[in-house]
Chain A
Amino acid sequence: MQRVLVLEDDDDLRTLLCDLLVASGAQACVSAASFEAMVRQQEQVLQCELALLDVNLGARVPSGLDAYHWLRENGFEGRVVFLTGHARSHPLVRQAHELTQARVLSKPVNAKELMALVRKPDGSHDA
């Protein structure tokens, strides 16, 4: 069973992602619309095994990369997957690609690929 963190500033997508991941086997979904909202839920966030982080959380606000660094600095040991709808050439997206302990998926990501993130290798799930 996995707990997942979804950090996404778009309300609709955040809700839908949580629904999909829970439907695909995640035990629970901790969602946050911003870096600050994520930090406020520190206890639940750090219990997650998977973090789905949107790279761009809006102009002039902490990005998904800031969230990544905060998670690692606070002992988060789970998998990190970045979601981005932006150009690969942008410095923030490039930095995300350079992180060895994180995957970067470009929006729109196929739903099956998202579901596979919480499914066991044999295709089953614990729900």
Chain B
Amino acid sequence: MAHTTPSAPPLRETDEQRARAWWGAFFATALTLLGEVAYIFIDWRVHAGDLTLPTLRALHVLEAVGLLALLVARRRTASSQLSAGVFTAVALPYLIIFAVAEVAMAALGHVWLPLTGHRLLMLGIGMLAPAGLKVGLGLIGAFALESVLLWYGLALDERLDMPWEPWITLVWGGTGCGLLVFRVRTWRIEQRLQKARAEAESLERVARLFLAMRDAANTPLQSLEVGVSLLQQRSPENAALLVTMERALSRLRSLTVRMAIADPLLDWDSEEESIDAEEVLRNLEESLTRELERRRH
């Protein structure tokens, strides 16, 4: 009969990782807001009389304000998916804005450094995108593709003496991807460590519970052991009854012996640590109450 290997349970996202994803989205949106406000005035001066770019930038600013408000409102409850969604929503409009800006700059005939926005954004995505390869790599790929299309579409290779383009832009894209992969890998390692730590803590809690139960049982068991022995001496006429009691005691004894299996898992903090079973059980009850309380909220 074939045995099926149970698939590993999904790694749980930690509060810290959610917070980190939130901060990535918040930082990217705030930077967009500040950058785009500055570019409204820059484009106003550069493309005098043409409101297309300032209007697009203003719309992007409005979107960023809305997304920032959403992030602030959901600060404590935002999932990584929400943060990734906000990040994507704030990054995608750049595809249109950058394309319009490159076309406008090419038409103006000024000296300019093409594809600068693409390069910076691809690096920024690598550094800030909420952990998850699909979103980050997808965005970087989209901006890399657009930069190549713009370069050749606008025939910049014929007009500008920049033989390193668009390749250097693609190198920036590759660097952004590398940063993202490194971040995602670190994130996954953290998740695995977190899971291992949670399992170890859970096992230690079980070990403490076993120990506390065994400790709480041993003294009454000893009383029963001595009591039965005294009865055997004092009331030999009840021998049959005492034999059954002795059997029951033996079963309880073997149960407490089996509970000792968890002893090596325990790491005593100090010699002062209480070994009062009642106190250990009380502490465990308090921990369980706190955990239940935490799960309710």
Q: Which A residues are closer than 8 A to B by beta carbons?
A: 10, 12-13, 16-17, 19-20, 23, 56, 58-60, 83, 85-93, 95, 106-112, 114-115
Contact = CB atoms under 8 A, between A and B. Distances in A.
B268 A111 contact: no
B227 A16 contact: yes
B273 to A, nearest CB: 8
B75 to A, nearest CB: 42
Given A89-B263, A89-B266, A92-B271, A107 B226 contact: no
12 contacts: A16-B227, A23-B230, A23-B233, A56-B275, A59-B279, A85-B215, A85-B217, A85-B222, A86-B218, A89-B263, A90-B275, A107-B221
A19 B226 CA distance: 9
Nearest to A88: B263
Contacts of A20: 226, 229-230
Contacts, number: 88
Nearest to B278: A59
Nearest to B234: A23
B214 interface: yes
- B contact patch SS: helix
Interface of B: 211, 214-215, 217-230, 233, 249, 253, 256, 260, 263-264, 266, 268, 270-271, 273-277, 279
B219 A13 contact: yes
Contact of B226 (A86, A93, A106, A111): A111
B268 A91 contact: yes
Contacts of B253: 108
Contacts of A109: 222, 225
